[in-house]
Amino acid sequence: MPPPIPLFVIACSLLSGCGGPTVITIPTTEPLQLAEPIKAYVYVQTKDNQRQRSQNRVQLYQGEWVLEDPTDK
């Protein structure tokens, strides 16, 4: 029977996530294009120039561009 330490090291290296998905962080100042359709709450501007969150989720479609509101800073 092989010693347990080398088996443990091999198991850890195989389960460590090597070769898994890569996560890329994108700055919030960059416009993003949706890769798939989503439903999300959005802000709408009222007649008195106030922003109000939508009562229901809105369908946003694949390929649409979204970006951060620059007035939030």
For residue 35, tell me if it sits in a domain.
Answer: yes
Three-state DSSP state, 10: helix
Residue 60's pLDDT is 95
Task: Please tell me the distance from the alpha carbon of residue 40 to that of residue 50, in angstroms, as a whole number.
Answer: 19
Residue 62's pLDDT is 95
For residue 21, tell me if it sits in a domain.
Answer: no
What does the DSSP 8-state code read for residue 70? G
- Six-digit token string for 67: 């970006």
Residue 64's pLDDT is 94
Domain that includes residue 49, residue range: 30-67
Contact between 66 and 43 under an 8 Å Cβ cutoff? The reply is: no
Per-residue tens of pLDDT for the chain, all 73 residues: 555 666 666 666 666 655 667 777 777 778 888 999 999 999 888 999 898 999 999 999 999 998 887 666 5
Residue 3's pLDDT is 59
CA-to-CA dists, residue 40 to 5, 37, 50, 56, 60, angstroms: 49, 10, 19, 8, 7
Domains in the chain: how many in total?
1
For residue 61, tell me if it sits in a domain.
Answer: yes
What does the DSSP 8-state code read for residue 35? S
